[in-house]
Amino acid sequence: MQGLSRPTPNGVAIRLDVPDRVEHLPGQHYLVRLTAPDGYTAQRSYSVASAPSDPLIELFVERLDDGEVSGYLADVLAVGDQLEVRGPIGGWFVWHGDSNAVCIGGGTGVVPLVAILRHAAAIGRAERIRLAVSARTLAELPYADELIAAGSLVALTREATADGRAAARLTADEFSGLIEVDATFFVCGSAGFAESASSTLVEMGVPSTAIRVERFGPSG
Ligand SMILES: Cc1cc2nc3c(=O)[nH]c(=O)nc-3n(C[C@H](O)[C@H](O)[C@H](O)COP(=O)(O)OP(=O)(O)OC[C@H]3O[C@@H](n4cnc5c(N)ncnc54)[C@H](O)[C@@H]3O)c2cc1C
């Protein structure tokens, strides 16, 4: 593990040098496996935040209360440690760079969307990406500065934004402003966020075949 930073109160960004790495597509994830001295193992999925062109793989992990794996990664892992990973994984929630993408993320659900954003910039297609992201507070939003710089719509549910948007979930009006014919919609977040956002898109006439959903739930 080559680099580690703590950009949010509960989040850690981990940069890994993966030997014999297979290039990922934005949206894919890795499995991280921890093994205790007694042989007990636990593994969890973490989306890649970095672009394929980045020589390192970047993951962003939010520490959950009593979280077995996230607690270790956020509090114990140190630069220079070895981590067992497998990936990249996933063939559906991926952006190939050849379509317009509307990216809607809640909390750590923004992580794979950041990979899409970074890849779009790297291949000179930033104009293909539209973003709407949600978090409780700005401090808790992973990659907040990068998302804002890319023109992302930011919805905070516990505080107003600097530009005066009152605390609220993404509204119907905000969703309707995102609708774009021929775009692929990438929705990522908790099960509740993903269900609500994808149902709203369908109610607004987006064909379900144009919507790709990734749920970050306990079953992951
Ligand atoms: C495809 C995929 C990609 C993912 N990418 C990321 C990522 O980029 N960053 C990231 O931080 N997480 C991501 N996750 C979630 C991650 O895999 C783990 O579920 C999360 O880190 C919790 O693991 P844990 O071992 O710390 O918690 P556990 O020990 O498994 O659970 C601790 C407690 O938290 C609850 N819990 C577990 N997982 C979640 C969750 N995701 N949301 C809310 N409550 C939960 C459990 O029910 C339990 O009460 C992803 C999940 C999937 C399926």
Cis, bond preceding 88 (omega within 30 deg of 0): yes
**The predicted structure's pLDDT at residue 104:** 98
Q: Does any ligand 1 atom lie closer than 6 A to the CB of residue 216?
A: yes
- pTM for this structure? 0.96
pLDDT at 112: 98
Q: Work out which ligand 1 atom sits closest to the CA atom of 220.
A: 53
10 CB less than 6 Å from ligand 1?
no
Residue given tokens 């960004």 in the structure block: 13
**CA-proximal residue: ligand 1, atom 47 (nearest):** 218
Amino acid at 1: M
Our answer on whether the CB atom of 64 is closer than 6 Å to any ligand 1 atom is yes
Residues 28-64 pLDDT 10s: 999 999 999 999 999 999 999 999 999 999 999 999 9
Do 39 and 82 lie in one domain? The reply is yes
Average pLDDT over residues 153-175: 96
Q: Is 58 in the pocket of ligand 1 (CB under 6 A)?
A: no
In angstroms, rounded to a whole number, what is the distance separating the alpha carbons of residues 79 and 60? 15
Instruction: Outline where the chain has alpha helix (H).
Output: 68-75, 111-122, 144-149, 172-176, 191-203
Q: What is the pLDDT of residue 52?
A: 98
Per-residue tokens: 194: 């993903």
Q: At 31, which CATH number? A: 2.40.30.10
pLDDT, tens digit (0-9, with 9 covering 90-100), for 97-144: 999 999 999 999 999 999 999 999 999 999 999 999 999 999 999 999
Distance 181 CA to ligand 1 centre (A): 33
Domain region containing 76: 3-89
Q: 105 with 210, same domain? A: yes
Which residue of 6, 33, 45, 93 sits with most ligand 1 atoms within 8 Å of its CB, as the best mutation to test the pocket? 45
Percent of the chain whose pLDDT exceeds 90: 96
Q: Say yes or no: 204 and 123 in one domain.
A: yes
